[in-house]
Amino acid sequence: MVMSRKYIPRRTFLRGAGAAVALPMLDAMTPAFAAETKRPIRLAFMEVPNGIFDLNHEWSPKAVGANWEMTPNLKPVEAFRDRFVVIGGLDNQQAAGRDGEVGGDHPRACTAYLTGTHAKMTSGADLHAGISADQIAAREFGKYTQLASLEIGLESAEIVGACESAYGCAYYDTISWRNDTSPLPMENRPRAIFERLFGDGGTDPKARLEIRQEDKSILDAVNADIKRLRGKVGGTDRAKVDEYTDAVRDVERRMKLAEKQDIHALPVGSPVGAPEVFSDYFKLMADLMVLSWQTDMTRVITFQMGHEMSGRAYPELGFGDAHHPCTHHQGDREKQIKTTQINNLHMKMLAYYLGKLRDTKDGDRSLLDHSLILYGAGLSDANLHLYTDLPLLLVASGIGGIRGGMHVKYPNRTPMANLLLTMLDKAGVPHVDKLGDSTGRLELPSGQTKLARI
């Protein structure tokens, strides 16, 4: 790396054998006497499988507006109350069955979640739905980043054959569609994501393998560049570089520990190299997602907590029952309690992700301040396969004038696609007039939200 000026180009990479390490935003990347460089908006679309259940059916607060009481389901993210909007009343009508269709509630629900379209009943190659909101954003934001988007999941993807009734596995293994006929697989291997972010495609893959086999860090390949960089920048930037490299090394350490596990101990559906404990697995993937935004490698992330009809068990909660069977509780109190505990664990993981974004600087604020994140499910009640009044949370942190700390309730049968269309607008994605079954844009609460700086 040659650095002949104090001003460092924004797209500077530290390069070595088998590595291309992007840098986070540094003060030295803003020209002298120039105003603070405007930071890009990032978009994340997150989905949990099998609906979201609460013993008292209290995902949404009873009161609308600003003065609402935190529900048990939302309690894990209470620290971020001023940054999110609880959204009620939106439906996923394209998940409904049609004449001649058998079963398919789960694959139709997750397919419609970001597309607003109806999944064609087929287990063959003639899959059909529609482009998803994340990929519309990726077409625009991908003009400015190395990766147009990242599609990440925490379970295996069986892409052939039928998985529910006559619906192909490809439907319920993803929520992201490049176009009407091309579902995008969710990457569930931490190492694969890491190498997309830090591997140099222009070099021999053998060099990257040697780094791993010698138990080295990818940063060792660019150590000389890091030292030169630290000598060129000020104290604040040196601290940012050190914090960033520490985070990269920590992710590598956890990946290596996971890769040394006994593969027979891994839960069904987990890839080799994934931590055995679900919360550790999620946190590793979340940290990779934070690094991808911190370095501006991508601005769009699609995340599937688990595929629909997920059979994952959560022994860390003290029981071995699988998720999907628990959701079909039929009034069984014990199953209802276990389902609530699973959903609560998912919300704790969301809180971890939001916390990491809040604690990571991005210009003069944080990554969370510059992010628009949707969290929710394609079904509301999985026991009854309901796709009405979906449980949805929009983390906005003031983007587009959206006021956090609010609970809004829209008229029944308002398409969820209206929210997706509005999100694209707020993120600055141009020329999107229609998405799936959208009927217009939503009026989101607006006003000044005071956010604490990190």
Domain boundary among 216, 251, 272: 272
End-to-end CA distance of the chain: 31
- Domain co-membership, 249 together with 333: no
The angle at the Cα of 189, spanning 187 to 195, to the nearest 5 degrees, equals 90
Predicted local confidence at residue 117, as pLDDT: 98
- Kindly state the DSSP code that residue 46 receives in the 8-state scheme: E
Q: Residue 77 — pLDDT band, cuts 50, 70, 90?
A: very high
337 pLDDT exceeds 60?
yes
What's the rounded Cα separation, in Å, for the pair 348 and 356?
Answer: 13
Q: Residue 342 — pLDDT band, cuts 50, 70, 90?
A: very high
Summarize pLDDT for 251-288 with one digit per residue, the tens.
999 999 999 887 777 776 678 889 999 999 999 999 99
**Which residues form the domain of 3?**
1-38+203-272
Higher confidence at residue 104 or residue 148?
148
- Domain co-membership, 137 together with 285: yes
SS3 for 88? strand
- Domain co-membership, 382 together with 392: yes
Summarize pLDDT for 226-250 with one digit per residue, the tens.
998 888 888 888 999 999 999 999 9
Number of structural domains, the chain?
A: 2
Domain boundary among 248, 272, 296: 272
- Domain co-membership, 282 together with 411: yes
In a domain? residue 196? no
Predicted local confidence at residue 404, as pLDDT: 96
- Domain co-membership, 210 together with 250: yes
Q: In the structure encoding, which two tokens stand for residue 182, read together?
A: 């091309």
Mean pLDDT of 198-204: 62
**Residues facing 395 on adjacent strands:** 84, 373
In a domain? residue 11? yes
207 pLDDT exceeds 70?
no
In a domain? residue 332? yes
Predicted local confidence at residue 13, as pLDDT: 84
Please choose, from the candidates 290, 262, 267, 291, the residue with its C-alpha nearest in 3D space to the C-alpha of residue 279: 267
What's the rounded Cα separation, in Å, for the pair 152 and 149?
Answer: 10
Cβ atoms 297, 146 nearer than 8 A: yes
7 pLDDT exceeds 90?
no
- Domain co-membership, 121 together with 164: yes
- Domain co-membership, 15 together with 99: no
Tell me how many helices (H) and strands (E) the chain has: 11, 15
In a domain? residue 20? yes
What's the rounded Cα separation, in Å, for the pair 240 and 242?
Answer: 5
- Domain co-membership, 53 together with 30: no
Mark out the alpha helices in 27-147 (DSSP H runs).
Answer: 105-115, 133-141
Domain boundary among 224, 240, 272: 272
Pairing of strands 406-415, 84-91: parallel
Torsion angle (degrees, nearest 10) of CA 447, 347, 312, 256: 100
Q: In the structure encoding, which two tokens stand for residue 251, read together?
A: 């992710």
Q: What residues contact 153, with CB distance under 8 A and at least 6 apart?
A: 173, 174, 186, 187, 188, 303, 304, 305, 306, 307
Cβ atoms 359, 19 nearer than 8 A: no
Cβ atoms 195, 208 nearer than 8 A: yes
- Domain co-membership, 93 together with 7: no
Mark out the alpha helices in 155-234 (DSSP H runs).
Answer: 169-172, 190-198, 205-213, 223-232
- Domain co-membership, 177 together with 255: no
Q: In the structure encoding, which two tokens stand for residue 75, read together?
A: 């309690």
Summarize pLDDT for 137-159 with one digit per residue, the tens.
999 999 999 999 999 999 876 65
User: What's the CATH number where 336 sits?
Assistant: 3.40.720.10
Residue type, 86: V
Mean pLDDT of 189-205: 79
In a domain? residue 284? yes
Q: What percent of the chain has pLDDT over 90?
A: 66
- Domain co-membership, 418 together with 360: yes
- Domain co-membership, 168 together with 238: no
Q: Residue 31 — pLDDT band, cuts 50, 70, 90?
A: low
In a domain? residue 405? yes
H/E run at residue 288: helix 278-294
In a domain? residue 161? yes
Query: Does the reported pTM lie above 0.95?
Result: no
Predicted local confidence at residue 211, as pLDDT: 58
Q: In the structure encoding, which two tokens stand for residue 127, read together?
A: 């899959």
Q: In the structure encoding, which two tokens stand for residue 140, read together?
A: 């625009």
In a domain? residue 70? yes
- State phi, psi for 20 to the nearest 5 degrees: -140, 100
